[in-house]
Chain A
Amino acid sequence: MRINTLVLLLALAILHLVVIFAGFIAPYGPSVQNRELPYAPPTRVHFVDTSGFHLRPFVYSQTLTLDSYKEDRTREYPLHLFARGETYTIVGIFRSNIHLFQVAEPPRIFLFGADGYGRDEFSRLLYGGQISLAAGILATLLSLAAGTIIGTISGYYGKWVDESLMGSAELFLSLPWFYFLIAVRAFLPLHLSPVETFLLLICVIGLIGWARPARLVRGVVLSARSRNFVSAARGFGASDLYLLRRHIFPETFGVLLTQAALLVPQYVAAEATLSFFGLGVSEPEPSWGNMLSTLQQYNVLVSYAWLLTPAAALVITSVIYWLLADALHSRLKSHSI
C-alpha cells in the first residue's frame, strides 16, 4: 500500500507539532489533580441550548452524585479561545500562559475524561506524548549512531574486524530482545529521578538495538567500498577518512532513513510497554505507557473506556511511521539500480 510520502510526512509533522505545543493546546498541566472528580467522563461540549444555537461552545459543570456524573444545567460556561491559564514552557525555552482553549472555573473541561486522580486525560495525553515520542526518537538516534559507527568500521576494514563485530551483532540479535531489555532494566536501580529514568530508558533501548542497523550499514559500506569511483579517488591519493566521508557515507542515507522510520515506532512501543510494567517512566510524569497501566485493574478496564486514548495515540503514531517506512523502502528500491 503506497500512500504519498509527502502526505505521511505532513501527518507526522502535525503529530509532533501537536505534542511539542502540548503546553499551548492542553488546557491544564499534567499533574493537576481534581480529587473531587475521579474518573470523570469526557465533558460534553454543547452548541445548542434551550435558547438555540450558539457559535461559542459551552460546557456544564459535572458533579459526582452517588455513583455517576450528572451535568448541572443551571449554568453555562462558555469556551474561551486563546485564553490565559497556567504558565507553561515550550521545549523548555518559551514561556507563555496563553492556552488554545480554557473554561472559567469551577467546571473542568475534560475532553477525554479524567483518570483516578481527576487529572485531565487530554492534557496528559499531550504531555505524555512528549515523553513517549522523545524517548522513541532519541533511542532511535542512539541505535542508528552506534549501528552506523560499528557497521562502517566493520564494512570498511573487513577481515577479522568485520568477523568479530558481526559475530557480536549476531549475538545481540539472537538475544530475546524484550527479555534482555527487562533484564537490563532489572539490573539498574529501580528508583531514580524522572530525568535519570528517562535517560536510562533511552540508553537501554537504544544501545541494545545497535545490531540490525549495524548489519545494514555494513552491507552498504561493503558494496560501496569496492565501487570503481572509490578506487579512482584512492588513485588520486584520497585518505580513508575522505573516502568514508565523501563517497561511502552518503550511500547509507537511504538505509538509515528507512531504519529510522521502522525503529521509532518500535522504540515508542518499547517505552510504553516498559512504563506500563512500571519499569519505565513513573508517576507523576505521564507517558502513554504508564497512563495505560491503570487499565490493569479490572473495574477500570471495564468501566472507563476513555482511558484507552493513549492506546489510540500509540496506534496512530505507529501506523503513520510504518506507512512512511513502507513508502521509503519502495523509494529506496526503485532508486538503487
Chain B
Amino acid sequence: MKYLLRRLLRAALLLIGVSALCFLFTEMAPGSFFDEMRLNPQISPETVTALRARYGLDQPLIVRYSRWMASVVRGDFGYSIAYNSPVAPLLWTRAKNTLLLTGTATFLVWLIAVPLAAWTAASHGRWLDKAAAVVSSVLISVPEIVIAIALLALAVRTRLVPVGGMRSLGFQEFSTWGQIQDIAQRMVLPTAVLVLSSIAVVERHVRASVLEVLQMPYIQAARGLGISRTRLLFRYALPVAANPAISLFGFSLATLLSGSLLVEVVTGWPGLGPLILDATLSRDLLLVIGGVLLSALFMVAGNFIADVLLLAFDPRIRTGESHAN
C-alpha cells in the first residue's frame, strides 16, 4: 500500500512537471497566432490587443499558469483559436477515435506476440526461432514511417481495403452491422501498421524473459518429473516470466494516445494525431498543449497501472515492502 502511494505521488509530481514544461513552452514561443495576425494589415492593432486581452494573454506568467492549471483540473483545456471552440471537446472526440485504433492494435499485438514468443522461446535454436528472429530484427529496425508508407502504397494499389478517414460517405444510412463493418474495414490499414511496428519489440522482450525462466532449475526439475511441454510452458514458465512483460504492457498502455500520431496522419485516420499536427502548423498553441498534456496524462496513468499490476502479480514486491519496514 505504501508502495502504491509512493508511485501515485510520483505520478502526480510527473504530471505537474509535464504541465509546467508545457506551459513554459507557450511563453518561450516567438511568434504566436497573434503575431501572425498582427502582420496582417487588414486587422488593426487595437483588435489584436483586444483579442489578446479577451484570451487573457496579457497577464503575468504565474497568474496565467495558475489560472490555466485551475481550468485544466476542471477539465477546461482552454480555447482553440483556429477552430474557435473549446479545446477539450475537440481533443476528446479525436481521442476516442485514436483509442479505438490503438486499443485494437495493442490487443492484437499482445494476443499474437505472447504465444508466439513463448513458442519461439521453447523451440530455441531451431529453424522457427531463427526465422522469427530474422523477421523481428527486420521489423524492429524499419522505421515506422516506412512501414506506414509501404502499407499505404500496398493498400492503395491493390484496393483490398478502403483508405483514409473512418467512415464512408453515407455512413448514416448504413445498418448498425454495416456501420461496424465500414469502420472495421477502414481500420485495417492503420491497425496493420501499428501492429507491425510494435509487435517485434514485445515479442523480443517476452521471448527473452521466457527464455531466461526456461533455464531456471525449477523448470528442469519439473521436466524431470515428466510434465508435458505445453503445460510446462503455460503453467510454470509464463507466470514467472510475466514480470518484465507487465512493465512492457504498462508501456503499451502508456502510449495508447501518443503512439499513433504518425500512422493516423499518413493513413488519414481522424484521431488525435492529425489534429495536433494541424494545430502545430497553424501555431494553435493551446490545442497543441492540450494534446500533449492529454497524452502525457495517459502515459503517466499507464505507467501507474503497470505498477499496480506488478504489485498484484509479483509477490516479491509485496514481501519486499514488508521487509523494508
Contacts and interface: CB of A to CB of B under 8 A. Distances in A.
A182 B277 contact: yes
B311 interface: no
Interface residues of B, number: 56
B221 interface: no
A295 B149 contact: yes
Nearest to B302: A174
Contacts of A302: 153, 156-157
B251 to A, nearest CB: 10
Contact of A269 (B30, B144, B266): B144
Interface stretch (A30-38, A146-154, A240-248, A314-322): A314-322
Contact of A318 (B14, B25, B142): B142
Interface in A136-183: 167-168, 170-171, 174-180, 182-183
B22 interface: yes
Interface stretch (A54-62, A103-111, A117-125, A272-280): A272-280
Contacts of B18: 171, 174-175
Interface in B242-272: 254-255, 257-259, 261-262, 265-266
Nearest to A184: B25
A179 B277 CA distance: 9
Contacts of A323: 137, 141
Contacts of A179: 258, 261, 276, 291-292, 295-296
A188 interface: yes
Contacts of A180: 292
B292 A183 contact: yes
Contacts, number: 140
Interface stretch (B105-113, B211-219, B280-288, B316-324): B280-288
A1 B258 CA distance: 31
B149 A292 contact: yes
Nearest to B279: A186
A176 B153 contact: no
A276 B288 contact: no
A3 B181 CA distance: 45
Nearest to A185: B280
Contact of B138 (A176, A190, A272, A319): A319
Contact-size category for A: 35 or more
A254 to B, nearest CB: 20
A170 B14 contact: yes
Contacts of A326: 137
Given A188-B29, A190-B283, A321 B299 contact: no
Contacts of A272: 143, 145
Nearest to B163: A298
A326 B266 CA distance: 30
Contact of A298 (B156, B266, B279, B285): B156
A207 interface: no
A186 B285 contact: yes
B50 interface: no
Contact of A322 (B137, B262, B279): B137
A189 interface: yes
Contacts of B262: 178, 273
A174 B280 contact: no
A184 B30 CA distance: 12
A292 B145 contact: yes
Interface in A295-315: 295-296, 298, 301-302, 305, 308, 311, 314-315
Contacts of B156: 298, 301-302
Contacts of B266: 296
Contact of B296 (A175, A269, A315): A175
B285 A187 contact: yes
A295 B154 CA distance: 13
Contact of B152 (A178, A265, A268, A301): A301
Given A182-B277, A311-B150, A176 B145 contact: no
Contacts of A184: 25
Most buried by B among A176, A177, A308: A176
Contacts of B259: 176
Contacts of B288: 182-183, 186
B222 interface: no
Given A176-B292, A298-B156, A189 B31 contact: yes
B258 A176 contact: yes
B134 interface: yes
Contacts of A176: 255, 257-259, 292, 295-296, 299
Interface string B142-173: 11111001101100110000000000000000
Most buried by A among B18, B21, B145: B145
Contacts of B63: none
Contacts of B137: 1, 319, 322-323, 326
A311 B22 contact: no
Given A269-B146, A296-B266, 19 more contacts: A168-B17, A170-B10, A171-B17, A175-B292, A177-B258, A178-B261, A179-B291, A183-B289, A186-B279, A187-B25, A187-B29, A189-B30, A265-B143, A269-B143, A272-B143, A311-B145, A311-B149, A315-B142, A315-B146
Interface of B: 10, 13-14, 17-18, 21-22, 25-26, 28-31, 130, 133-134, 137-138, 140-146, 149-150, 152-153, 156-157, 254-255, 257-259, 261-262, 265-266, 276-277, 279-281, 283, 285, 288-289, 291-292, 295-296, 299-300, 303
Cβ-closest 3 pairs across A and B: A176-B258, A322-B141, A269-B143
20 contacts: A170-B14, A174-B14, A175-B18, A176-B299, A178-B258, A178-B262, A179-B258, A182-B261, A184-B25, A187-B25, A187-B26, A265-B143, A272-B143, A273-B143, A289-B145, A302-B153, A302-B156, A318-B146, A319-B137, A322-B137
